[in-house]
Chains A and B, each alone.
Chain A
Amino acid sequence: MDITDQLNISRRGFLKLTAVSATVAATPPLVARAAVPDVARAPVTQQVAMEVNGKPATLSLDTRTTLLDALREHMHLTGTKKGCDHGQCGACTVLVDGRRINSCLTLAVMHEGSKVTTIEGLGTPDALHPLQAAFIKHDGYQCGYCTPGQICSAVGVLDEIRRDVPSHVTADIGAKATFSTAELRERMSGNICRCGAYSNIVEAITEVQEGRA
């Protein structure tokens, strides 16, 4: 069944609604008056319990708080970066229940009971994860701002290939997913590196995949 039927909102109405909220969040619209509500909504707070990097965390949060801001501003796990807050850059990539997601695109309160792994949970300067070590060895970063997202994303990518999840460049989705440079580049393309470390990032991940790190 179409979800819009259930909610009794026409598709056009739904689009209009999302368009307005997107505009308000992104940039105040040109005709400011039309879109500005008269009163501010009182914040609604809710408790959420999740496991972050293996440790239980219970937070009382404004329900508008993204998982990204819950991590960065409330748990002070600032390894996860905010590059755009709009799902366009991948800097905020974390692993939730083993899968990579853009933590800016999900509200924290949606993650009751989730197991979240951030870059801080993968390794530390004294005990690096193999991907962290490989990024250092291959200089797979420059400014370092996209790096935690790249590394978390790479963890997810390698697991997706193991789990046989096909991608846009998988030639035969009936066959077993395999690791290749083309697969890697395609699957990593949600993680922008403006410093342009891609060539080195691919080498770092490939080395870990091949078990040589």
Chain B
Amino acid sequence: MKFDTPATTNPIDRLKVIGQPHDRIDGPLKTTGTAHYAYERHDAVPNHVYGYIVPATIAKGRVVNIDTATARRAPGVLAIVTAKEAGPLTKGQYNTAKLLGGPEVQHYHQALAVVVAETFEEARAAAGLVRVDYARSPGAFDLAAAKGRAVKPEDGQPDTAVGDFAGAFASAPVTLDAMYTTPDQSHAMMEPHATIAAWEGDKLTLWTANQMIHWGKGDVAKTLGLPPDNVRLVSPYIGGGFGGKLFVRADAILAALGAKAAGRPVAVALPRPVMFNNTTHRPATIQRIRIGATPDGKITAIGHESWSGDLPGGGPETAVQQTRLLYAGANRMTATRLATLDLPEGNAMRAPGEASGLMALEIAMDEMAEKLKLDPVDFRVRNDTQEDPEKPGRRFSQRNFVQCMRKGAEQFGWSKRSATPGKMRDGAWLVGMGVASAFRNNLVMKSGARVRLGTDGRATVETDMTDIGTGSYTIIAQTAAEMLGLPLSQVSVVLGDSSFPVSSGSGGQWGGNSSTAGVYAACVKLREAIAGALGMDAASAVFDDGKVSAGGRSVPIAEAAKSGEIVAEDSMEYGDLEKTFQQSTFGAHFVEVAVHAATGEIRVRRMLAVCAAGRILNPKSARSQVIGAMTMGVGAALMEDLYVDKRLGFFVNHDLAGYEVPVHADIPHQEVIFLDEADPVSSPMKAKGVGELGLCGVAAAIANAVYNATGVRVRDYPVTLDKLLDRLPTV
């Protein structure tokens, strides 16, 4: 099915099942420990053995010698695979560095070998006996030092320019020109990257944790030189990904290589302390923002430049993206520069681009509002635009940004905020409020599904879509139930298997809308087949309450399948509506913090997000996506920082004790409001993404609240107390 004109009325609009806050259908399994994640497939692979990774302990250079002799003699060892044993491997399309290194080492903790043994304890012990001698080469590890050598990336759209930015900025009555930095961050999902691999002849099955099954299947095949049809990925439950599991990682390749060498199925999980340097991360940025405005707060010039680094062949953090679309202003420029760094591979982490970009832009907007003596909500509202500011005439499909700001301000009690910083006290605490805009583009991806109507009248949906905590199981079941007029309990959903139709996968907040649109397409086909089987006119048939009705006749849906299951498969593809309309999601984040007047300790007291993101397919799971993202935003604002050892080239705090993420004590009760929207331009579901929008802007809202509390402006994340201490108001 092709979606190339805006949606009109369709069965989804009934909102009997979809759009309702149903409990997750996978809840009973997840809460009882009976949902089996990748490393837990004793049911599917009863007799697997264990592989343990040997990671490189230099950042750049060569393996001079890798001595596995002692390890091979260790008890229980079945096989050791290094680059030499593995033979030639091709780098996957989505990988920047090779997943099995050697002799060349491209980054710290790049895998150099896998040791396979009967037990986990034996494999781990033997891995510690592998001796590696290195010849270390000098590398570039310091973004600030490499910034001057950064170049304009060849791919994508690194730079844009409209009007005369330089002239307008120079002549603007009120201006801001400031630098901001964001650190490297880690996905740090709770389930480590893990895979069990089993070969049957030259056919390989991987039970793995992967967000994008089809990409993964392709890259496993490419890496190992197999026909894609010989590779099967199975990933029904995934313990979080946030972009870290978009791509095939070393666990999958090492498990496959280890299983081949040992002649046994092999399970490999990346040890937590290896994950931070072995896998991908959100790259650090240095950003310069210039804003010029008239005294009444109209932006006349806006410029955003970003520098980030990556391994050779890698890409930039696209931190200037939102600045092209968020605020009005006739004269504009953005520029993206990429430096070569020999740190681990940088790549997508939840809301890549916007998350980092808004961390800077939304502090800049707060600073600019202060210069203009305008309320920060008002300043943002004054610079709303209903069309793409770089392409006048190209409208947003929907843009209720101003409503988000206004609704949030009212709900949060924004009017109680003191415009002068450091003026609100609560005992020993300085109290402040902050606001930031949320913005993230809405992406749509082709997505397919197969739907079966069984002889018992139950429907089963099969798609290679994944549920990484996003609620895919539930919204897919709701979609099928709505389309077929069945109660939710009559629908089963099976996900994450590459033998199912190819879906959008989970990433870029496209999964919810795109995957359900694919299910919609398959259900439209199934409805036709069912109507046909019942001798009814498909166009006028109504599917409701377990029955199909047309032409004065009404029969139970199961009747259609009484002589055999009915199966339909289709996918939703998209025309160029995204060119005609700019599709984006909008929001506003409001935060109240308290900063201890003596110690500088920062506590987040209240958080509110107002989101305008099209139709909300399940308000309960969507709200969870947003509060989870807000929590990650607290991490970004206050603690998350992969600390770079600039001499040796690695992330020092590479475990969950050193890389701090928010815990219970850091997070207050969180409020989320969804504006009542339905965007017919996005898909027949009229939904948009929301899982990343919730993160966009949060950190800046917190930084702005800290400023409002203390009068201390921190432009280098994370905002930690050491950056406040010597500048706090005297007690």
Contact = CB atoms under 8 A, between A and B. Distances in A.
B28 A29 contact: no
B667 A198 contact: yes
B664 interface: yes
A144 B37 CA distance: 10
A40 B74 contact: yes
A202 B669 contact: yes
Nearest to A42: B75
A89 B120 contact: no
A18 B629 CA distance: 38
B29 A125 contact: yes
A65 B121 contact: yes
- Most chain B CB atoms below 10 A, which of A145, A193, A196: A196
Interface residues of A, number: 79
A118 interface: yes
A145 B34 contact: no
Interface string B113-126: 00000011110111
B624 interface: yes
B569 to A, nearest CB: 28
A196 B627 contact: yes
B702 to A, nearest CB: 14
B664 A88 contact: no
B47 to A, nearest CB: 12
- Most chain B CB atoms below 10 A, which of A38, A89, A133: A89
A196 B237 CA distance: 18
A38 B132 CA distance: 14
Interface string B661-676: 1111101111000000
Nearest to A149: B190
A26 interface: yes
Given A28-B57, A40-B70, A83-B656, A76 B30 contact: no
A144 B239 contact: yes
A119 to B, nearest CB: 4
Interface string B20-52: 000110111111111111011010000000000
Interface string B463-492: 000001111000000000000000000000
A158 interface: no
Interface in B228-249: 237-242
Nearest to B648: A30
Given A136-B28, A142-B470, A200-B627, A89 B42 contact: no
Given A88-B272, A199-B627, A141 B57 contact: no
B109 interface: yes
A70 B119 CA distance: 11
- Most chain A CB atoms below 10 A, which of B269, B469, B470: B469
Interface in A24-41: 24-30, 32-33, 36-41
B120 A73 contact: yes
Interface string B69-80: 011011110000
B240 A80 contact: no
A84 B655 contact: yes
B55 interface: yes
B151 interface: no
A126 B58 CA distance: 51
Contacts of B75: 40-43
A79 B40 CA distance: 9
Interface in A104-141: 118-120, 122-126, 128, 132-133, 135-137, 139, 141
B129 A37 contact: yes
Contacts of A30: 57-58, 648
A27 B75 CA distance: 21
Nearest to A127: B32
Nearest to A72: B40
Contact of A191 (B191, B648, B664): B664
Interface string B267-305: 001011110000000000000000000000000000000
B32 A62 contact: no
A111 to B, nearest CB: 17
Interface string A180-213: 0000111011111111111111100000000000
Given A40-B75, A125-B32, A147-B30, A26 B655 contact: yes
A86 interface: yes
Interface in A79-95: 79-86, 88-89, 91
Contact of B33 (A26, A32, A119): A119
Contacts of B24: 136, 139
A57 to B, nearest CB: 16
A78 interface: yes
Contact of B42 (A78, A86, A142, A194): A78
Contact of A69 (B120, B187, B189, B662): B120
* Closest CB pairs A-B (n = 9): A79-B33, A196-B631, A145-B239, A144-B30, A142-B469, A143-B469, A40-B74, A196-B628, A78-B40
8 contacts: A30-B58, A43-B76, A86-B273, A132-B28, A136-B28, A148-B32, A194-B189, A199-B667
Given A40-B74, A139-B620, A196-B631, 11 more contacts: A32-B131, A40-B126, A83-B192, A88-B657, A139-B621, A142-B624, A143-B238, A144-B239, A145-B190, A148-B32, A202-B664
Interface of A: 24-30, 32-33, 36-43, 62, 64-65, 69, 72-73, 76-86, 88-89, 91, 118-120, 122-126, 128, 132-133, 135-137, 139, 141-148, 151, 184-186, 188-202
